[in-house]
Amino acid sequence: MSGSSARSLREASAPPIGYRSAAPADREAVEAIDDSFTTDRIYEVVADDSGFALRERGVEPPLVKVFPEDPEDAEDFEDAGEGTGGAGDGEGPGGSHVEVAVAGDEVCGFVACGIEEWHSRLVVHQIAVAPAHRGRGIGAALMERACAYGRRAGARTAWLEVTNVNAPAIRAYRRMGFELCGLDTTFYRGTASEGETALFMSRELDTR
């Protein structure tokens, strides 16, 4: 059996994916999702006095990236379960919002986002899909739910940050309608990702 046939068979037998706002009971499952990735391509930032450009290049052996735990992610999730609308509405007092993807009883993906009201922007803090469920459109569906939340809140743009070595995510975000809008070569200085470049991507939201 070919690899594509085996994958199709697994997908056909997999439980359907459902989507909903996060509940406090989802926190442990969300925190357990493996958001690491492996890539044999990265985006190299080429900069000079007149601007910058991205150049895709191969890496050998493939790069394996494991993200360190971020205490702020846990704080955002705590807010998401304590909104004024009641537990499980996915909204928090600071404007944080978490949506989850569920396969059967398993939380297999999530997106955490928030609204910056002063310039009507939806900020996508984090989006992740468990490795066994990648390639099924779950990330795109979660992003659309985040953008829908942004539109309801009056956001005019969606914005996110991604490291230049995460070529799979950059390509996925472009398919979702995001475009490169800036970068910061010092963003990760003093962190485990030092030496990488933060890329900023944005997408217009139709709020009419």
For 74-119, how does the pLDDT look when each residue is reduced to its tens digit (9 = 90+)?
A: 565 555 544 333 334 565 434 589 999 999 999 999 999 999 999 9
% of the chain beyond a pLDDT of 70: 80
pLDDT at 88: 44
Instruction: Give the pLDDT score at 191.
Output: 95
At 52 the pLDDT is 86
- Residue 131: per-residue pLDDT: 97
Q: What distances in angstroms separate CA 143 from CA 26, 82, 86, 129, 147, one per listed residue?
A: 18, 22, 23, 11, 6
Q: Sorting pLDDT into bands at 50, 70 and 90, what band is 73?
A: low
Domains plus CATH for the chain? 16-204 (3.40.630.30)
Interacting residues of 162 by C-beta distance below 8 A, sequence separation 6+: 169, 170, 173, 198, 199, 201
- Model confidence at 154, pLDDT cuts 50, 70, 90, reads very high
User: Residues 38-63: pLDDT tens digits?
Assistant: 999 999 998 888 888 889 999 999 99
Give the DSSP letter string of 34-77: ---EEEEEEEEEEEETTEEEEEEEEEEEEEEE-PPP-HHHHHHH
